[in-house]
Amino acid sequence: MDAFVWDQRYMTGEAQVDGEHQELVRIINALIDLQSKYASPETVTQVLDQLVNYAVVHFAHEETLMAESHCDPRFIERHTAVHRSFAEQVVRLRDSSADGSDLEYLLNFLTGWLAQHILGMDKAMVRQIELIRGGNSPQAAYDAAAKITTDPATSSMLDAMASLYRIISARNDALSELNRGLEAKVAERTEALKESNRRLLESEHRRSTETRRNLELFLSQIIDGDPVPTLVIDASHRITHWNKACANISGLPAERMVGTWDQWMAFYPAARPIMADLIVDGSLEERFNTYYHNLFRRSKTIEDAFEAESFFPNLGENGRWLFFTAAPIRDGEGRIIGAIETLQDVTDRHLAEDELLKYQEQLEAQVEARTRELASTNRQLEREHAELTTLLGKIDETQQQLLQSEKMAAIGQLAAGVAHEINNPVGFVNSNLGSLKSYTGNLLRLIDAYESGEPQAIAAARQAADLEFLREDLPSLLAESQEGLDRVTRIVQDLKDFSRVDQAEHQRADLNAAMNSTLNVVRNELKYKADVIVELGDIPEIDCVPAQLNQVFMNLLVNAAQAIPERGKIFVRSGVERDHVWFEIEDTGCGMSAETRQRIFEPFFTTKPVGKGTGLGLSISYDIIVKRHHGRLDVHSETGKGTTFRIWLPIVQSAET
Amino acid sequence: MSRILIVDDEISILKALQRLLRVAPCVYGNKQFSLEVVACEFPSEALKHARQGEFDLFISDYRMPEMDGIEFLKQARALQPDAARLILSGYADLNALVRAVNEVGIERFIGKPWNDYELMSAIAQALAHRELLLENRQLADLVRVEMGDKTAEQIEAERLERLEPGITRVNWGPDGSVVLDDDN
């Protein structure tokens, strides 16, 4: 920027005023010089201050001059207002442009304003003062000064300067106003931010405090609410937590314990470290051995934790078994800052174990006793079994005997009949022989008499011999005797046929013949009760055991005869139908009731008086027909009318038999 | 002459017995019995004979059609209580024997086949025993009459009663009529 060049136009004629104007110009030129040299803001401010101070002094001098000169008050007022306005402007500009950015603008303003002020206002002031000194009234001087018109060039320049100054001033004001508003807003905003920040900090602080408190409370509650007795100590072995369960088990309330170092009190009669203490000390294994006698072990689930189980005689009424676990509490850097110990009352478990052991022993004793009992029972059972086996053998034997006895009974019955039948002929043949002997004696004596030739002796002998009778009787005697012996022979033959040994095996046999031989044997039995009507049909030989079937026939025939109360008829029939032959034995006896008919094949069932029947006849017959010959045995009976048994036998036995 | 009634369903037996009784001496002690034999094949026929004439001895088989020997002897005893009774049987059933002794009061049970001598002795013994009983009774009656214990009428009534049991009693009907047996 160009320097302010002082020239004669600026001279007012008042020496002091001009001198001071020149000093102002000098200071402005110094500022311009500084600005061009990019001086530091401090230096610029210093010079600016100097300028302002000097301006103030100068304005004061001018105002004093005006007052001493008795200038028109209107002028003094206007002039003073201009001075005030300048001072304010400069101070504001100086403040706003302290950093030097607007220094050029400031300098333009200063040069502009000074030029305009000196040429306008100050020259008018001096003119008025001269007029007053010249004896004019101030009013006249003021009016005269106002009428003086400056040269057009200077006037227009002054006008332009004035308007420029106004514009600048207005802009400056506006800017200042804006600036102030902005600053106020900034300040306000800053204040608000500060307030908000403060509140934020405050709430954050409160929240963190609360959180910490909650956390502590939470932790306390967790520990306190834990049903497992739990205690926590800090690094100084002081108790920090002592939960309710712990209080319950030890009988020592938390109020008593927390904050103290009396944790031993809960467990031991005298002071000594508990496991948590050893954990805090880090004097783990060596002292564990001292205090816990190898009973401790490392926890399987919690790292660095130890656990042990021990009996505490001081706890509770009868002492308690506790299983306790102690674990270190570490800070973020892994330093041990405390330890937590949990206790589990395992007394019940121990009691249960003891009980269990006792119970087990009891059980073992019971098992042993039971085993002994079982063994003895077993022995008894074996004995009983042996007895039963023996009994069974006896029953078997008895059954065999019964079967035998049934056979024997049948045979006995048969034998009685046979005996009768044999005894009769033997009886009369025998007797006849006796008679024959006496006849022979008589005859021989008669012959002797004849040989002697004595008529008297002959006549006597003839008389004694009763020759006529002998003649008549001898042939019949011999014939009868012959017949009797024939009968005996036949009976013996029938018996032989009936019980032929060679018929006790499976063979093809003519059952009609078998029936006939049976009939022959039992006929003597039957004939006193019944007329036997035999109607045997033509039947083929069949596969069978004839001896067994003879027994069946005999049973049925004898039963039929026994069913007849007085005298009746027995029909014996046979026939063939498809692949079976059948035999039918029908009697006109008393018949059977339905109940009796249902039971006749049961062993030992009999309607005969005791000693008369074994009750086995029909049972055996059924066995023989159905089981051994795969046949059928049908019964038809009507009470009072008689009974019919019909035997069905297959002609050919299936291969398996 | 002693009358003997023999019942057996076996004719050969009857004939053999008749031969025996005809020729064999029937002696008990020094007493000899001469015999008259009636032989019957059926008990019913024998009972008919028993109603018609007096017999000293009944000899019966045990097992017979119609009725057995015990039944027959029971009926014969009812007809002729004083006659001796004897069973000749080949069937030696104990039950039958017991019944024969208890129900019929037989003198002897002789099994078949028999020994001729034993049979004749038994017959003679039975006859002698019967004769002795009768004689006893007769003598006792005589004594009783003499002593006045019994009248001759009573004795006659007893004799008649023996001959024809029931003859001395009248069977009155409910309406006052006399009921006569018509079964025989």
| A427/B91 touch (CB, cutoff 8 Å), yes or no | no
Mapped onto helix, strand or coil, the DSSP state of residue A591 is: coil
Distance separating alpha carbons of residues B134 and B81, to the nearest angstrom: 12
Q: From CA A516, how far away is CA A553, in angstroms rounded? A: 10
Q: Which residues of B touch A419 (CB under 8 A)?
A: 90-92
- Cross-strand bridge partners of residue A325: A307, A342
The pLDDT, as a whole number, for residue A576 is 93
pLDDT value of residue A210: 86
Task: For residue B113, say if its preceding peptide bond is cis, omega within 30 degrees of 0.
Answer: yes
Kindly state whether residues A17 and A109 are assigned to the same domain: yes
Average pLDDT value for residue range A441-464: 88
How many interface pairs between A and B have CB atoms less than 8 angstroms apart? 79
Are A563 and A590 in contact by the 8 Å Cβ rule? The answer is: yes
The conformation of residue A501, written as its DSSP 8-state character, comes to G
**More confident call, A301 vs B25:** B25
- Whether B10 sits inside 8 A of A423 (CB atoms) is no
| Residue closest to A635 by CA, chosen among A595, A573, A584, A575 | A584
Residue B52 CA to residue B79 CA, distance in Å, equals 10
CB of A28 closer than 8 Å to CB of A107: yes
Position A380 scores a pLDDT of 86
Mutate: best of B8, B62, B63, B121, partner A, most A CBs <10 A: B63
Over the stretch A600-621, which tens digit does the pLDDT of each residue have?
888 778 877 766 666 778 888 8
Closest-CA residue to A515 (of A562, A563, A459, A553)? A553
Question: Do residues A344 and A322 make contact, with C-beta atoms less than 8 angstroms apart?
Answer: yes
Backbone torsions φ then ψ of B176, nearest 5 degrees? 90, -5
CATH code for the domain of A47: 1.20.120.50
Q: Look at A85 and A93; give whichever has higher pLDDT.
A: A85
Residue B123 has pLDDT above 90, yes or no: yes
Confidence of residue A657 (pLDDT cuts 50, 70, 90): very low
> Is A179 part of any domain?
no
CA neighbours closer than 13 Å in the CB half-sphere of residue B78: 10
Report whether pLDDT(A185) > 60.
yes
- Domain of A326, CATH number, reads 3.30.450.20
Mean pLDDT, residues A107-116 taken together: 78
Q: How far apart (Å, rounded) are the C-alpha atoms in residues A286 and B146? A: 150
In chain A, the residue whose alpha carbon lies closest to the alpha carbon of B65 is A528
Residue A154 maps to a domain: no
Reply yes or no on whether the pLDDT at B163 is more than 80: no
Q: Which residues of chain A does B12 touch, with a Cβ-Cβ cutoff of 8 Å?
A: 424-425, 428, 480, 483-484
pLDDT confidence bin for A100, thresholds 50/70/90: low
Among chain B, residues having any CB pair with chain A shorter than 8 Å are 10, 12-13, 15-17, 19-20, 22-24, 63-66, 89-93, 111-114, 116
The DSSP-derived string for A250-263 is HS--HHHHTTSS-G
- Nearest CB among A426, A431, A476 relative to B20 is that of A431
As a whole number of angstroms, the distance between CA A450 and CA A458 comes to 6
- Tokens 């019909």: give the residue: A646
What are the structure tokens assigned to A609, written together? 């008086």
Q: Are A1 and A29 in contact (CB under 8 A)?
A: no
Structural contact between residues A145 and A128, judged by C-beta atoms closer than 8 angstroms:
yes
Pair A410, A437 in one domain: yes
What local confidence, expressed as pLDDT, does residue B119 receive?
92
Query: Is residue B122 a contact partner of residue B110, using CB atoms and an 8 Å limit?
Result: yes
Lowest mean pLDDT segment, chosen from A65-79, A354-368, A496-510 = A496-510
Q: Look at strands A568-577 and A530-535 and give their pairing.
A: parallel
Same domain as A551, residue A518? yes
How many C-beta neighbours within 10 Å does residue A140 have? 15
Chain B interface, mutation test: which of A413, A414, A423, most B Cβ atoms within 10 Å? A423
Mean pLDDT in residue range A476-499: 86
Structure tokens at A11: 């001279």
Interface test mutation site (partner B, options A428, A440, A468, A526, max chain B beta carbons within 10 A): A428
According to the model, what pLDDT value does residue A345 have?
81
Instruction: Work out the minimum CA distance from A573 to partner chain B, whole angstroms.
Output: 24
Check A419 against B10: CB less than 8 A apart.
no
pLDDT digits (tens, 9 = 90+) for B133-152: 999 988 988 888 888 877 88
A618: closest CA among A577, A582, A585? A585
**In terms of DSSP bridges, do strands A542-544 and A507-509 run parallel, antiparallel, or are they unpaired?**
antiparallel
Inter-residue contact B57 to B126 (CB < 8 Å): yes
The answer as to whether A15 is a domain residue is yes
Short-list A572, A558, A571, A578, CA closest to A511: A572
A83 Cβ contact partners less than 8 Å away, ≥ 6 residues apart: A59, A62, A63
Query: CB-side exposure of A345: number of CA atoms within 13 Å?
Result: 18
Distance from CA of A470 to the nearest CA of B (A): 10
pLDDT of B74: 93
| Same domain membership, residue A381 and residue A297 | no
Domain ends where: A86, A113, A148?
Answer: A148
Which residue is closest to B62 within chain A, CA to CA? A420
Q: How confident is the model at residue B184 (pLDDT cuts 50, 70, 90)?
A: very low
What is the pLDDT, as a whole number, of residue A655? 60
Cβ contact (<8 Å) for A528 and B90?
no
Mean pLDDT of A99-121: 74
| % residues pLDDT > 70 (chain A) | 88
Kindly state the helix (H) or strand (E) to which residue A166 belongs, with its residue range: helix A152-225
* Block residue for tokens 């608000």: A192
A438 contacts B63? CB cut-off 8 A: no
Residue pLDDT, tens place only, A361-398: 888 888 888 888 888 888 888 888 888 888 888 877 77
User: Could B90 and A420 be called an inter-chain contact, meaning their C-beta atoms sit closer than 8 Å?
Assistant: yes
Say yes or no: A487 and A513 in one domain: no
Is residue A412 within 8 Å of A406, Cβ to Cβ?
A: no
**DSSP string computed for A184-207:** HHHHHHHHHHHHHHHHHHHHHHHH
Q: Is residue A567 less than 8 Å (CB to CB) from chain B?
A: yes
Q: Are residues A438 and A550 in the same domain?
A: no
A209 touches chain B (CB under 8 A): no
CB A260 within 8 A of CB A272: no
Residues of A with CB below 8 A from B19's CB? 431-432, 435, 473, 477
Structure tokens at A517: 């031989």
Q: Residue B170: what are its φ and ψ, rounded to 5°?
A: -105, 130
Q: What is the pLDDT of residue A502?
A: 64
With a cut of 90, say whether residue B7 has pLDDT above it: yes
Same domain as A369, residue A309: no
Q: Are residues A467 and A384 in the same domain?
A: yes
Kindly state whether residues A142 and A231 are assigned to the same domain. Answer: no
Find the domain containing A316 and state its range.
226-345
- pLDDT tens sequence across A242-275: 888 888 888 888 888 888 888 888 788 888 888 8
pLDDT, averaged across chain A: 82
CA A279 – CA A338 distance, rounded (Å): 8
- Model confidence at A183, in pLDDT bands (50, 70, 90)? confident
B92 to A477: CB separation less than 8 angstroms, yes or no? no
**Which one-letter DSSP state was computed for residue A492?**
H
pLDDT in tens, B63-74: 887 888 999 999
**Segment holding A581, helix H or strand E:** strand A580-587
Structure tokens at A44: 């610029």
Classify residue B46 as left (phi > 0), alpha (psi -120 to 50) or beta: alpha
**Residues A145-166: tens digit of each pLDDT:** 777 655 566 666 666 666 666 6
Looking at the fold, whether A510 and A622 belong to one and the same domain comes out as: yes
Task: Compute the average pLDDT of residues A37-43.
Answer: 78
Q: Which two tokens stand for residue A458?
A: 């002959």
Helices (H), chain B: 11-23, 43-52, 69-79, 94-99, 116-147, 152-163
| SS3 per residue for A404-456 | HHHHHHHHHHHHHHHHHHHHHHHHHHHHHHHHHHHHHHHHHHHHHHHHHCCHH
Who among B22, B64, B113 is closest to A427 (CB)?
Answer: B113
CA angle B113-B114-B119, nearest 5°? 160
Report yes or no on A485 lying in a domain. Answer: yes
Closest Cα partner for A233 from A111, A89, A340?
Answer: A340
Report chain A residues whose CB lies below 8 A from the CB of B122. Answer: none
Same-domain check for residues A513 and A480:
no
CATH number at residue A627: 3.30.565.10
Q: In percent, how much of chain B has pLDDT > 70? A: 97
Phi, psi (degrees; rounded to nearest 5) at B92: -100, 65
What does the block give as tokens for A345?
Answer: 């009352």
Could you give the number of structural domains in chain A?
Answer: 4
- Whether the pLDDT of residue B165 is over 80: the answer is no
Cβ-nearest to B65 among A438, A476, A528: A528
Cross-chain CB nearest to A434 (options B20, B66, B111)? B20
Nearest CA in chain B to A480: B12
Torsion angle of alpha carbons A124, A129, A134, A140, nearest 10°? Answer: 60
> Which of B14, B19, B89, B115 is the best mutation test for A, with the most CBs of A within 10 A?
B19
Residue in A closest to B91 by C-alpha:
A420
- Residue B148 φ then ψ, to 5°: 85, 10
Note whether residue A83 is domain-resident.
yes
User: From 3.40.640.10, 2.40.50.100, 1.10.1040.10, 3.40.50.2300, which CATH number describes the B2-129 domain?
Assistant: 3.40.50.2300
| Partner-chain residue, chosen from B23, B63, B89, that has the shortest CB–CB distance to A435 | B23
A269 lies in the same domain as A325: yes
Interchain pair B13, A422: CB under 8 A: no
- The beta-carbon neighbor of A477 closest among B19, B93, B111 is B19
In this prediction, residue B6 carries a pLDDT of 95
Strands, E, within A281-348: which ranges? 297-298, 306-312, 320-330, 336-345
Contact call for residues A504 and A545 (beta carbons, < 8 A): yes
Q: To which H or E segment does residue A240 belong?
A: strand A239-242
Closest partner residue to A431 among B16, B63, B91, by Cβ?
B16
Please give the residue that has the higher pLDDT: either A408 or B70: B70
Q: Is the pLDDT of residue A237 over 70?
A: yes
